């Protein structure tokens, strides 16, 4: 932890303590906890039987996670490393956000067969020989066993991860599900998330020059379109045949340790926490100024300001029924039409390709369709739908942005005039700072989202994504930035959803390979299967995208409502005024802290 960050926090917290405001105190304690307990999120992804659980057991140096040679029912497992833990602690985290302390037997039973209420299981264990304290490691189901609920959770977890370890079994190599899983991953990750390739269960004394290793690394690079570090873990022998090996993977965990404790990651954290500290300070400053205004303004002027803020709220909130809801309703209707057109285009392109390849056999054509034609055509068509949505939603954001700026300028004038009636307020320049002091509330959103999406909301990546600087053009910038982040998340989900849907739908084409078909009729049969696969892809993707658009609509509404609520609270003066001398001392303290923070 950077000492400067803690010093800044303590500076602002001294003002929080003087204010004795419960909400600010809760927010301050939360921020201190995040600064002093920095969690890093590491996800292990890979196909079933790639050895993810055995690797985690090797890290813990204890066979805690259930391992089976047969694919087990998919369940997400969280492992948290903490210092000072005497014995392992086991938890069940349910879909209703409740957490139950359980024993190891029930933990193992849930790993084998999770119940319908379970979201994930969690193990809290002692720190290993590596410096991985406060690392939270997630063991995820193989792509083939991911059910719909897990898919949605992964869509939230993956973008908020700090490091992703993709595990491949040496003997099995990169298979069709790996292509799909890595493509799914590529759609969701941010540019600054580090991906590590782990090739597990390698023969003894093998090197990266081995032909099989080179093949796996190159395939992975081609799918992700980037170079990634690769590590090899050799097969471990065991004395008892019934036991499962616990590979040490020392090089891997040393690398992860360096990654999550790197200077670059610390800089990202410093930037995030700096933003949160400033956010907390501005909230304190607003509270101090509000108390002073309450003393100096007459009742009639306070009523006038209150009425102006209510009018501002009404003007802003009418955007919801008049613009936001109709726009999203139209998009939900149009997105179905867009995907139907995309389905038809993909179908025509694939049919034309089948007819143009000459004398390719059915045995050659089916993998060609599955591995290239189908995913490529669907990906290209999905990009078109994403571009359409991006244009429409950016247009909506611009309209809201322009309208909000007009409203804040008008409201700013009205409040400035009211403040000019009080000489002390005018002298201190209160009226000139109306627009500037309304902050986005990045800390509040971080606080609200912490533990959301299955608890994945607290990684370095997620912390940084919630930080916004205070700007003069605050309402427009607030809405634009917040909705831009939400839009990016939604668009990345569309790509991942589409890819997962077509991978599932393509199974109907693979079935064709098991049937003996006359040479003269197999193309017609194949086209029929392709049509069925594309219909399934279209239906699943449309439904999922419409759900995501509904969520995005709610985020837009919440952002607008948040802006309005904060503004009304800002001018909701108490009936009783505070002591003027104490309030002046608070103003002076806030001014000193502002100078010391350099803002």
User: In the predicted model, is pLDDT for residue 362 greater than 90?
Assistant: no
Between these two residues, 507 and 261, which has the higher pLDDT value?
261
Q: Average of pLDDT values for 430-439?
A: 51
The size of the chain, in residues, is 599
Q: Name the residue with tokens 């802003």.
A: 316
Q: What confidence category does residue 1 fall into, taking pLDDT thresholds of 50, 70 and 90?
A: low
Q: 242 versus 543: which is more confidently predicted?
A: 543
- Give the per-residue pLDDT at 182: 86
Q: What is the pLDDT of residues 250-272, one digit of tens each?
A: 999 999 999 988 888 888 888 88
> Residue 197: its pLDDT value, please?
96
Q: Describe the crossing of helices 442-449 and 22-36 by its angle, rounded to 10 degrees.
A: 70
Q: How distant is the alpha carbon of residue 207 from its chain centre?
A: 36
- Cβ-count burial of 225 within 10 angstroms (0-12 exposed, 13-18 middle, 19+ buried)? exposed
Which range has the worst mean pLDDT, 187-201, 393-407, 453-467, 575-589? 453-467
Mean pLDDT of the chain: 82
Cα separations (Å) of 378 from 55, 352, 524?
35, 15, 20
Whole-number percent of the chain with pLDDT over 70: 80
pLDDT value at residue 112: 83
Q: Where would I find the H helices in 21-129?
A: 22-36, 52-60, 104-112
Is residue 14 predicted with pLDDT exceeding 90?
A: yes
**What's the confidence (pLDDT) of residue 420?**
85
Task: Tell me which CATH code domain 40-261 carries.
Answer: 3.40.50.300
Query: What local confidence, expressed as pLDDT, does residue 558 receive?
Result: 87
Reported confidence tier of residue 167, pLDDT bands at 50, 70, 90: very high
Rounded CA gap, 200 and 233, in Å? 5
Outline which parts of the chain fall under CATH 3.40.50.300: 40-261
Split at pLDDT 50, 70, 90, the class of 580 is: very high
Q: What is the pLDDT of residues 291-307, one digit of tens each?
A: 999 999 999 999 999 99
Instruction: Name the E strands within 75-184.
Output: 76-82, 89-94, 99-102, 118-126, 135-139, 163-169
Q: What are phi and psi of 360, to 5 degrees?
A: -70, 135
Mean pLDDT of 67-77: 66
Q: Which pLDDT belongs to residue 452?
A: 37
In three-state secondary structure terms, 123 is strand
Most confident of 15-24, 231-240, 400-409, 443-452: 15-24
In the structure, what pLDDT confidence band is assigned to residue 527 with cuts at 50, 70 and 90?
A: confident
Locate tokens 């194949």: which residue?
A: 526
pLDDT confidence band for 111 (50 / 70 / 90): confident
Q: Which residue has the tokens 């897990």?
A: 150
65 within 8 A of 77, measured Cβ to Cβ: yes
> What is residue 150's predicted lDDT score, i.e. its pLDDT?
59
Q: Quick one: pLDDT at residue 481? A: 47
Instruction: Please report the pLDDT score of residue 439 as a whole number.
Output: 39
Q: Which of 157-161, 404-408, 443-447 has the lowest mean pLDDT?
A: 443-447
Mean pLDDT across 359-373: 78
């Amino acid at each position: 932890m950077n000492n400067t960050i803690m010093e800044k926090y303590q500076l602002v917290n001294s003002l929080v303590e003087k204010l004795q405001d419960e909400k600010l105190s809760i927010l301050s304690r939360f921020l201190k906890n995040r600064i002093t307990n920095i969690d890093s999120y590491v996800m292990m992804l890979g196909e079933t039987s790639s050895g993810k659980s055995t690797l985690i057991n090797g890290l813990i140096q204890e066979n805690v996670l259930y391992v089976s040679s047969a694919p087990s029912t998919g369940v997400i497992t969280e492992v948290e490393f903490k210092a000072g833990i005497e014995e392992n602690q086991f938890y069940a985290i349910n879909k209703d956000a409740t957490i139950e302390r359980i024993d190891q037997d029930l933990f193992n039973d849930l790993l084998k067969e999770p119940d319908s209420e379970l979201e994930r299981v969690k193990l809290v264990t002692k720190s290993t020989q590596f410096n991985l304290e406060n690392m939270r490691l997630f063991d995820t189901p193989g792509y083939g066993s991911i059910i719909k609920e897990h898919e949605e959770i992964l869509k939230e977890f993956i973008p908020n991860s700090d490091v992703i370890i993709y595990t491949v079994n040496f003997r099995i190599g990169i298979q069709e599900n790996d292509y799909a899983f890595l493509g799914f991953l590529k759609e969701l990750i941010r540019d600054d998330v580090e991906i590590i390739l782990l090739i597990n269960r390698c023969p003894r004394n093998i090197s990266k020059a081995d032909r099989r290793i080179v093949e796996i690394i190159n395939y992975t690079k081609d799918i992700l379109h980037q170079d990634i570090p690769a590590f090899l873990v050799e097969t471990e022998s065991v004395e008892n045949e019934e036991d499962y090996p616990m590979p040490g993977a020392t090089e891997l965990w040393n690398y992860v340790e360096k990654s999550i404790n790197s200077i670059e990651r610390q800089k990202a954290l410093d930037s995030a926490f700096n933003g949160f500290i400033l956010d907390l300070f501005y909230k304190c400053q607003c509270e101090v100024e509000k108390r002073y205004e309450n003393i100096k303004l007459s009742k009639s002027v306070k009523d006038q300001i209150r009425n102006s803020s209510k009018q501002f709220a009404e003007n802003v909130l009418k955007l919801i029924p008049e613009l936001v809801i109709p726009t999203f309703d139209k998009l939900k209707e149009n997105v179905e039409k867009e995907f139907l057109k995309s389905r038809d285009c993909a179908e025509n392109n694939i049919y034309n390709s089948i007819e143009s390849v000459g004398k390719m056999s059915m045995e050659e054509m089916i993998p060609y369709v599955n591995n290239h034609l189908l995913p490529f055509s669907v990906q290209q068509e999905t990009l078109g739908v994403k571009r359409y949505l991006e244009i429409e939603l950016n247009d909506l954001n611009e309209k809201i942005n322009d309208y909000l700026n007009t409203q804040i300028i008008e409201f700013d004038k009205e409040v400035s005039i009211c403040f000019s009636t009080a000489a002390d307020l005018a002298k201190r320049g209160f009226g000139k700072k109306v627009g500037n002091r309304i902050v986005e509330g990045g800390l509040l959103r971080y606080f609200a989202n912490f533990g959301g999406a299955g608890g994945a909301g607290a990684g370095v990546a997620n912390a940084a994504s919630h930080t916004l600087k205070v700007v003069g053009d605050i309402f427009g910038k607030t809405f634009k930035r917040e909705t831009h982040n939400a839009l990016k998340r939604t668009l990345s989900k569309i790509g991942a959803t589409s890819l997962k849907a077509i991978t599932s739908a393509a199974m109907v084409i693979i079935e064709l390979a098991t049937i003996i078909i006359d040479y003269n009729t197999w193309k017609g049969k194949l086209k029929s299967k392709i049509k069925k696969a594309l219909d399934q892809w279209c239906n699943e993707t449309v439904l999922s995208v419409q759900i995501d658009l509904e969520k995005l609509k709610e985020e837009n509404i919440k952002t607008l409502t948040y802006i309005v609520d904060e503004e009304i609270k800002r001018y909701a003066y108490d009936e009783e005024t505070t002591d003027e001398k104490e309030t002046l001392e608070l103003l002076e303290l806030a001014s000193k802290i502002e100078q010391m923070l350099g803002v």
